[in-house]
Amino acid sequence: MKTNQINLTFSSIPENVGITRLLIASVGAQLDLPLNDIEELKVAVSEAVSNAIIHGYQNNPHHIVYLDLDISNNTLKIIVTDEGCGIPNIEQAMQPAYSTDPERMGLGFVFMQSFMDELQVESTLEVGTTVTMIKHLKQTPISSH
């Protein structure tokens, strides 16, 4: 499998969520992933990026979100970073249906967890949050001819 790295830096505006969905869909297609897996990757990435914008930066559009993709060793690694407010209690934040916003469902982390093989959240108050998601890719069979 070819290795690849993509590093995207973008403004914390909701319009950019759609851009990240297109990017991950295109990467998934290049990796020959099934359509269902591509849909799941789109959801996982957009939930993480939305969280950075909505919660990390409290919808302030004048900040920067980082999306780093790394494909190597049959693994797709997706890292979403913000330099926002941070999460006071990560374990609590990851509970299904937990949200600090009564208007929200509190399901973002649930989707990330169920659609990815690994999910890791690191956060420091007033420093920011890094969400690392890993998907193991099937080894491409070696063609016999």
Ligand X SMILES: Nc1ncnc2c1ncn2[C@@H]1O[C@H](COP(=O)(O)OP(=O)(O)OP(=O)(O)O)[C@@H](O)[C@H]1O
Distances (CA, A) of 76 to 27, 30, 102: 10, 12, 33
The Cα 20–Cα 61 span in angstroms is 16
The Cα 129–Cα 108 span in angstroms is 15
User: Token digits for 85?
Assistant: 């407010």
Rule CB under 5 A: which of 77-116 touch Mg ion? 108
Among 8, 10, 106, 132, binds ligand X (CB under 6 A): 106
List 7, 47, 74, 89, catalytic entry: 47
Among 108, 115, 116, 133, binds ligand X (CB under 6 A): 108
Among 56, 116, 119, 135, binds ligand X (CB under 6 A): 56
List 51, 74, 91, 126, catalytic entry: 51
Contact set with Mg ion (CB under 5 A): 51, 108
